[in-house]
Amino acid sequence: METKSLALADILRALREDIQAENTLIASRVTWYVTSQSFLLTAYAASWSTGFLWQSFFHHVMPIAAIVLSVVILASIYAATWAQDVYLREQEALVFRINAEFQLSDAEKMALQVYERTMVVNRANGAGKIVGGRIHALVRITPLVLPVGFSALWLYALIFAPAASS
């Protein structure tokens, strides 16, 4: 019984680590993306200076490159959020199966109950209302909307910015 419990605990721990790894990937991709956009926007703004060489490149190619970068980062963030959802569903299904199919000791039952309460799907507010799913969805807004917003900004710069002085 101990070997089986240890294996289940290891599987649950591995799933939680995979979920956290996807969180870390998303956070680092967003940080990298915002940093890259700040550099691109700074270079774009500097290109409007009088006498700046390569204005045409900075006013046409840079917005296109920034839009492509936004599409790529959006795809990678979406992939990480999708993978995280897969892990969350696997976690929920495994906990359900453990509760339904295994005879656990009292200590194991208590440990599993604590684990269940900390799962995203079961997180509750101070009043005890389950809010984990909504919070999880709200956390996704920033990483998925930022690339769309920056793309719109770059598209505007590409289409509507006044012509640079030659």
Q: Binning pLDDT at 50, 70 and 90, where does residue 7 land?
A: confident
**% of the chain residues with pLDDT over 90:** 78
pLDDT at 162: 73
If we measure between CA atoms, which residue out of 33, 57, 23 comes closest to residue 151?
Answer: 33
Give the mean model confidence (pLDDT) for residues 17-25: 95
SS3 content of the chain, % helix, strand, coil (to 5): 80, 0, 15
- Distance of alpha carbon 163 from alpha carbon 119, whole angstroms: 54
Contact 132, 119 (CB under 8 A): yes
pLDDT per position as a tens digit, 38-74: 999 999 999 888 888 888 888 999 999 999 999 999 9
pLDDT at 140: 92
Confidence check: pLDDT of 107 > 80 = yes
If we measure between CA atoms, which residue out of 26, 21, 7 comes closest to residue 88?
Answer: 21
pLDDT per position as a tens digit, 121-148: 999 999 999 999 999 999 999 999 999 9
